[in-house]
A and B are shown apart, each in its own frame.
Chain A
Amino acid sequence: NAGVTQTPKFQVLKTGQSMTLQCAQDMNHEYMSWYRQDPGMGLRLIHYSVGAGITDQGEVPNGYNVSRSTTEDFPLRLLSAAPSQTSVYFCASSSPRAGGDTGELFFGEGSRLTVL
């Protein structure tokens, strides 16, 4: 059981380039989300999705785009990379609880992105 798989694990970009971070889960989870983790800042929510075709913004959505065409996949697109987007990105998924909250999140191992 692979859980949550993120690719690539490491990426170096130049300012202005675009790229997509991939996230796939094999647990049939309805909820998926993307966080970025920066030193001293903890984890900040970028975007999330409660099911295929449904996405919403988190705390720091600017500069990122998401879509959810299948239950399994939730890619994160950087439209025009900036040095401020240098960070470690985590994808997480869960099966939402009755009453409407995320419940326990399962995290991927992270994607470390450097923008020069």
Chain B
Amino acid sequence: SQQGEEDPQALSIQEGENATMNCSYKTSINNLQWYRQNSGRGLVHLILIRSNEREKHSGRLRVTLDTSKKSSSLLITASRAADTASYFCATAARGSNYKLTFGKGTLLTVNP
């Protein structure tokens, strides 16, 4: 069973707009990770946020984590056409630290 689920399933925006994707998970975790996948390619790691962190930034990316709500969000600011990809959150339940499970992903389309 999937630990994390992304929302929305698909998102279409214009270049320059911000994109927000959400992830909900079911059990206590040590950390949560976000990955990007361009069509037909492997996944690329974007950012990892630990359970004792609330917010983390990396370039145009901002990730938040609310452990009380078991949810995370990924914000991409000033989006570009090159940001078009699927975005996945990944978690491992405490006690199953090496079983990293992925959600079904959000397909982001950035229109030029």
Binding site for B on A (CB under 8 A): 4, 31, 33, 35, 40-45, 48, 50, 56, 58-59, 90, 92, 96, 99-110
- Say which residue of A33, A58, A101, A106 sits within 8 Å of B30 (CB atoms): A101
Chain A residues with Cβ below 8 Å from B99 are: 45, 48, 58-59
Chain A residues with Cβ below 8 Å from B42 are: 4, 90, 107-110
Given contacts A101-B31, A105-B43, A108-B42, contact A41 B101 (CB under 8 A): no
Closest to B89 in A: A42
> Which of the candidate stretches B54-62, B63-71, B102-110 sits at the interface with the other chain?
B102-110
Closest 10 CB pairs of A and B: A107-B42, A42-B104, A43-B102, A101-B97, A104-B45, A107-B43, A109-B42, A100-B97, A42-B102, A101-B30
Q: How many residues of B contact A (CB 8 A)?
A: 25
Chain A residues with Cβ below 8 Å from B10 are: none
A33 to B90, CA, bound (A): 14
Chain B residues with Cβ below 8 Å from A99 are: 30
Say yes or no: A102 contacts B88, CB within 8 Å: no
Can you pick out 20 interface pairs between chain A and chain B where the beta carbons lie within 8 Å of each other? Answer: A33-B98, A35-B102, A42-B105, A44-B101, A44-B102, A45-B101, A50-B98, A59-B99, A90-B43, A92-B43, A101-B30, A101-B31, A102-B98, A102-B100, A105-B35, A106-B45, A107-B43, A107-B44, A108-B42, A109-B41
